[in-house]
Amino acid sequence: MLDSISRAWLVKPMVTDFVRNVVGEIRCRVYDWKHGVHTCGNVNLTGLTLVGNNRSYGVHYHPSHPKFLLQEFSKLNIDYNQFTFIDFGAGKGRVLLAASEFPFHRIIGVEFASELTAIACENIKRYRSATQKCTNVECLNIDAAEFEFPSGPLVLYLFNPFGPNVLRPLMQNLQRSLDADLRDVLLIYMSPFHGDLIEQETALRCIAHDTYHNLYSYSIPE
């Protein structure tokens, strides 16, 4: 009897996770169909054309769930028109499309895989949404470590796109940019395996922990 009960308790979470994953995949495919884009599907970097000097440090493409993105972006409590949104490891561009539902000043994707950048650019062109609020959207095919941060307040998004070898110089570049031009910065870090580097290399501090992500912030001192 006890063995049967134990097995039941083990099977139930597995079934729940399976159902959750299936439902999530269906919702993502509906999202693509609704907006006339192709953002679904994980992509391994093997065989892709990768630019820059950090080809060995990238992580495979796994798109963020659109429902999560819309929920998180709606909670930022900022004047969106003042902020530039940047997604590092943009992949096929789903995060950029979700961000365009908010009135950001500008939206930039950074992706070092040329083939994924081409798909993201095509998705940006094809995106259909009656509620889209920002059309100043682009995806750049460059190494994140070589990215130059634009002026003005920033919202940054990372879904664990690379390890410390890229994250560290990226954060050092961010801090140099902040030193030259003090402004507000928010950083959403999904699967924050290397979150300690954010606070080591920048003035940003973690202001919120969630199940799957951390939120970091730097605000101009009053």
Domain assignment of residue 135, given as a range:
55-218
Residue 1's pLDDT is what?
46
Confidence (pTM): 0.88
The 10s digit of each residue's pLDDT in 7-52 is 554 444 555 665 566 666 788 899 999 999 999 988 888 889 998 7
In a shared domain, residues 68 and 120: yes
Q: Span 140-146, mean pLDDT? A: 96
Residue 62 resides in a domain: yes
The 10s digit of each residue's pLDDT in 88-127 is 999 999 999 999 999 999 999 999 999 999 999 999 999 9
In a shared domain, residues 22 and 108: no
- Min mean pLDDT across 37-46, 153-162, 183-192 is at 37-46
For residue 60, give Cα distances in angstroms to 29, 39, 43, 141, 160: 19, 14, 6, 16, 10
In a shared domain, residues 31 and 60: no
Q: Span 173-192, mean pLDDT? A: 97
Residue 42's pLDDT is what?
87
For residue 47, give Cα distances in angstroms to 43, 90, 120: 10, 18, 18
Residue 42 resides in a domain: no
Categorize the per-residue pLDDT at 212 as very low, low, confident or very high, splitting at 50, 70 and 90.
confident
Residue 55's pLDDT is what?
64
Domains held by the chain: number: 2
**Which bin fits 36, alpha (ψ -120 to 50), beta or left (φ > 0)?**
left
Residue 54 predicted with pLDDT over 90: no
In a shared domain, residues 134 and 71: yes
Q: How many CB atoms lie within 10 A of CB 221?
A: 5
In a shared domain, residues 78 and 176: yes
Angle, in degrees to the nearest 10, between helices 66-74 and 2-35: 80
